[in-house]
A and B are shown apart, each in its own frame.
Chain A
Amino acid sequence: GQQVMQIPQYQHVQEGEDFTTYCNSSTTLSNIQWYKQRPGGHPVFLIQLVKSGEVKKQKRLTFQFGEAKKNSSLHITATQTTDVGTYFCAGLRGSSNTGKLIFGQGTTLQVKP
C-alpha cells in the first residue's frame, strides 16, 4: 500500500541552529499537510501544500512540495526551544476521494538552550 517515509526520526539541535525534516511518498500526492505535535498533545495543523513545486513560508518555517508531488520538506531557521515537538507530514494520495491521510513516522525535534 501507499507509504509515506519521513526522516530523520530524531534530531537534536542547539538553539539557533537550523532543522530540516524530509518526507517521501511511494505514490503521487494530491496534497500534503504538515502537523506539529507537542508531547502529550494532538496534531496541530501547520500548513497544506497543493501545487507542484510550491513553497510556503510561515515566519521561520519554510515548506516545500516537490515537482513530482511525491516529496516535501520542512525547514526551520534558527530554532527556538518553542519549536520542540514532533513534526508529521501527512499525504493525501492523488486518487483519493475519501480524505484518508497517510502520515509519516514523524521527526522529533529537541532543542538545547
Chain B
Amino acid sequence: DSGVTQTPKHLITATGQRVTLRCSPRSGDLSVYWYQQSLDQGLQFLIHYYNGEERAKGNILERFSAQQFPDLHSELNLSSLELGDSALYFCASSDTGGNTIYFGEGSWLTVV
C-alpha cells in the first residue's frame, strides 16, 4: 500500500459525459501528479500540483482540468469524453523534496 488513495477504482461512462477522479496523497505529501496510461502504453504525465498550485503541465487536453484543494487532495476533471479517453488514470504524490513519487492504484475509465 503506497498510501495514495484514488477513487473510483472503475468507472464506465458514455461519450460526451464528464467525470471527476479523486486522489488523496500520502500523509504529509504536498505534491500531487496525474498520469494517463492507455492500453499497452507508458505513463503520460498530465499535470503536477504542489500545495494547491499548478507546477507543471504535460500532455493534458483542454477538456481535462485538475485542482488541488487546501486539504491537499486533488481532483482530475475529464469532460466531453471521447472513446480514446478510456485509460488508467494514476495519481501519485511526493514529499517536499519530490525525489521519489508513489503511485495510487489507479482509476480505470471506460468510455463507451
Is this pair of chains taken from one and the same complex?
Answer: no
Question: Using a CB–CB distance below 8 Å, which chain A residues touch chain B?
Answer: none
